[in-house]
Structure 1
Amino acid sequence: MSLQLTPYILMNGEAKKAIEYYREALGAEVIFQQTIGEGPEDEAAKFQEHELDFVAHAVLKIGETTIMIADIIPELPFQNGNQLSICVTASEVSEAKRLYEKLREQGKVVTELEKTYFSPAYGMVIDPFGVTFQIFAART
């Protein structure tokens, strides 16, 4: 079993500006970046035209740390205070399911754990203390 916890920052349409800022201020290296419009057509169809250029997902490396950043998660509308979540990356789907089930016992499900175009198992839960956890399986 292998777990990795990664800070995940949600922006309100300003992720590209934030990424550039982190590049300049912190020497961040962009490992991956994809806009909503660059994703699968069926996913992009859920968004308005002006949102297609928003960052769907980006991975930055800052020193020895990796962070993730995006503009929108439709199930989690932006509000001050929910900009930062923790993405728990499990190496196996079975481990992602175990973690998800434990967190949901006392937490509030934001999205059910299910296969997506970017992960074989992905879901979100807000724990009893208000912390949002994104559960992500790296492989099946």
Structure 2
Amino acid sequence: MKFSPYLQLNGDTKEAIEFYENVFGARNLGVMTFGDLPTSPDFPLPENVDHLVAHATLEIDGSTIMLADTFPGQPSEEGNLVIICITLDDKDKAHKIFEALAEEGQTEMPLAKTTFSPAFGVVKDKFGVRFQIYTEIDE
């Protein structure tokens, strides 16, 4: 199990990536835009968001920071700028952790199979801490 901070920004993630590359000497491990994602009728995207960052990863001195622009229509604000991403390699364990965090909390995105993960979801625990559960594809 690995824990990583996940920064959610309001449309300036590409600028933040460059800034952190310069400030920290961060190594860009990849950027995926909303335009790179397969289309889904469950999550239709508004027009003119293809350039926004859906997911990016930076490596800084052995640590990982993930970043993304918020999903259009869900702006980040003080209190939800940082989310903790828990990366697992076992989807049963991911479900168990997700359910435990959701108890007395709030499910923001149900844990489910996606095109990029066999089990992915977002939950806010009873203390208001937001967690993104990400299970690595193990095929």
1:14 offset after TM fit, Å? 0.3
Structure 1 residue 134 and structure 2 residue 132: aligned?
yes
Structure 1 pair 139–92 and aligned structure 2 pair: CA distance change class (3 A): farther
Aligned partners of 1:12 and 1:72 also within 8 Å = yes
Distance 1:97 1:73 in 2: 23
Q: Report matched runs for 1:14-29 at 5 Å.
A: 14-29=12-27
Q: Per-residue displacement from partner, 1:13-38 (whole Å, max 9, x unpaired)?
A: 00000000000111111101111001
Q: Report matched runs for 1:27-46 at 5 Å.
A: 27-42=25-40, 46=44
TM-score (norm 2): 0.91
What root-mean-square deviation, in Å, do the aligned CA atoms of Structure 1 and Structure 2 show? 1.7
**Which SS does the other structure have where 1:51 is aligned?**
coil
- The size of the alignment, in residue pairs, is 137
Q: Which runs of 5+ in 2 are unaligned?
A: none
**Which SS does the other structure have where 1:23 is aligned?**
helix
TM-score (norm 1): 0.91
Segment drifting more, 10-19 vs 78-87: 78-87
Match in the other structure for 1:109: 107
Match of 1:49 among 24, 37, 47: 47
Structure 1 pair 75–100 and aligned structure 2 pair: CA distance change class (3 A): farther
Distance 2:75 2:68 in 1: 12
Task: Write 1 or 2 for the structure with the bigger share of helix.
Answer: 1
**Which SS does the other structure have where 1:117 is aligned?**
coil
**Which SS does the other structure have where 2:48 is aligned?**
helix
Match of 1:70 among 58, 68, 71: 68
The residue identity in structure 2 corresponding to 1:39 is: L
Q: Which runs of 5+ in 1 are unaligned?
A: none
Structure 1 residue 85 and structure 2 residue 78: aligned?
no
Match in the other structure for 2:8: 10
